[in-house]
Structure 1
């Protein structure tokens, strides 16, 4: 790592690269090597936010140690798919950590979350109440990333009049995240109504033929509505991050 930095500095000093190229190269390193992880501290340069911890399949001690390293260099932390044991471990090194039981997220925000007035609003829509945990993960993520967020819940196609009575909210959004289980038809309906990007999130909510989210995933991938893109099953975090990148433009 030292050799890479020295070469980069020398290239800048001798005029081989300009300041923009220098900063762009810095985006790719460094990372911190610990026993079980490589913590990417320069993720902030790429996304204006530090690396996010996926707690599922990690032990509480592993999550705590990764969180500790991130918070040594950042004022913000987001951990997803966290259980109370993960949260209790993080609280030992971050007394200001907060746990959202519905979203299963751990967050730390030490300082003001900067919001750009030029950015639009992200609207998160759920087909049913059972889809709320995935939608809440998206909401927590999007808000921590500095977006204005609004949540519209339980407006699925089984009662389409509930959605149509909220057309003003759809029209005011710059990006829309649609979270739906069962057959997953709602994103196509929304995509046919608006002229902004729609991010579809299939959920594992549904009876047997839902196949734990596979049925709505295939429905969403086969949408005929233009402007609809799809993330993985139950991936509220991924939808919110993509929506943030779209919203920045």
Structure 2
């Protein structure tokens, strides 16, 4: 790694590469290696945010070690799919850590989150209250990434009048995230009403034929509404990150 940096510096000083090429090369390294992980400290150059920790399938001790390395270089931390034991482990090293039990997220915010006035608003919609954990994961993610976010709950197709009474909120959004389980029809309806990107998030909420989210996933993939894209089942984090990248171009 040091040799590569020295080579890049030499090429930059000799004028064989420009500033843009130099920065582009730096985007791909460095990382910090610990026994069980390689912490990507330059993720912030690509995404303007440090690496996010997926806590599920990791031990509390592993999560705490990774979090400690990130917080040595950053004033912001986001961990997803976290349990109480993960939170307790991070709390030992970061007393200002906050746990959202519904979203299952852990956040540390040690600087003011900058919000760009040129950005639009991300609207997150749930078909039902049971979809709220996934929507909350999206909300927490979108907010810590610097977006203005609004959450609209329980406006699914079983009572469309609830959605139509909030058309002003849809018109005010630059990106809409629609979280729905059961048959997953809501994103198609929203996609037919708005002229901005719609990110559909299927959830595992539903009875047996929901197949743990497969049914709404297939419905959303087969939408005829233009401008609707789909992320994986229960992936509120992925939807919010994609919405943030779209919102930066607004």
**Could you say whether these structures have the same fold, taking a TM-score greater than 0.5 normalized by the shorter chain as the test?**
yes
Query: Any gaps of 5 or more consecutive residues in structure 1?
Result: none
1:125 matches 2:125: yes
Residues of 2 paired with 1:213 and 1:225: CA distance? 20
1:109 matches 2:109: yes
1:73-222 matches, cutoff 5 A:
73-222=73-222
Residues of 2 paired with 1:40 and 1:74: CA distance? 12
- How far 1:23 moved relative to its partner? 1.1
1:33 matches 2:33: yes
1:12-91 matches, cutoff 5 A:
12-91=12-91
Which string of whole-angstrom CA distances, capped at 9 and with x for unpartnered residues, describes residues 206-230 of structure 1? 0000000000000000000000000
Residues of 1 paired with 2:109 and 2:12: CA distance? 35
Question: 1:67 is paired with a residue of what secondary structure?
Answer: helix
- How far 1:14 moved relative to its partner? 0.8
- How far 1:4 moved relative to its partner? 0.6
TM-align CA RMSD: 0.3
**1:10 matched to which residue of 2?**
10
Residues of 2 paired with 1:182 and 1:78: CA distance? 29
- How far 1:90 moved relative to its partner? 0.2
Question: Larger deviation: 103-112 or 18-27?
Answer: 18-27
Moved over 3 A (4+): none
Query: Any gaps of 5 or more consecutive residues in structure 2?
Result: none
Question: 2:93 is paired with a residue of what secondary structure?
Answer: coil
Residues of 2 paired with 1:79 and 1:144: CA distance? 11
- How far 1:24 moved relative to its partner? 1.2
Residues of 2 paired with 1:80 and 1:144: CA distance? 12
TM-score (norm 1): 1.00
1:234 matches 2:234: yes
- How far 1:20 moved relative to its partner? 1.3
Residues of 1 paired with 2:154 and 2:193: CA distance? 18
TM-score (norm 2): 0.99
